Amino acid sequence: MAANQTLTIIKPHALRDNNAGAILAVLNKAGFRIAGMKMTRLTRDQTENFYNEHRGKYFYPPLVDMMSEGPIIVAILEKENAVTDLRRIVGSTDPAKADPGTIRRMFGLSMRENAIHASDGDQNALREIGFFFSETERY
C-alpha cells in the first residue's frame, strides 16, 4: 500500500529566483496538504549525509555543492499516493525532457538545478522526513 506522505525540497536556485511561492501553488493546486514545512540551509556534511546513497556517482559532488550553496524549503506533503503523484507533477530530472506543466519544466534550469527534489519511494520518503522533521514538527 502506498504511503500518504512524501518529502519535497525546493532547491536553492528556485528560492534565489523567487519561485518558491509559485512552486508551492502548483503543489497546492494538485491537492497536496502541507503537513510540515520550514526554510533551512544545509551544511556540506548534512548534504553529504542526506544524499549518501549517491556517493561515488558522477553527479554527487556537484549535487552536494548546489544543495549546500543557499537556503532551501523542505516540506512534508500529504495526499493519497503522495510519492507517485508528486513525482508525476515534478517531472523528469532533465527539465528539457519534462512534460509541459510539470514543476521542473516550468522552473528547472538544468539537470542539476531542476528546482525541486521529490522522494523516490515510500521508504525513502520516511527516511527523508525523519532527516528534516522531528515528531513535534509534523502535523
Tell me the torsion sign for CA atoms 84, 91, 120, 40. negative
Q: What is the structure's pLDDT at 49?
A: 97
- DSSP letter, residue 53: G
Helices then strands, each counted (H, E), the chain? 7, 4
* pLDDT bracket for residue 120 (50, 70, 90): very high
Q: What is the structure's pLDDT at 139?
A: 87
Listed residue (94, 106, 131) closest to 9, CA to CA: 131
Which active-site residues does the annotation give? 117
Full set of structural domains in the chain with CATH: 5-134 (3.30.70.141)
104, 116 Cβ separation under 8 angstroms: yes
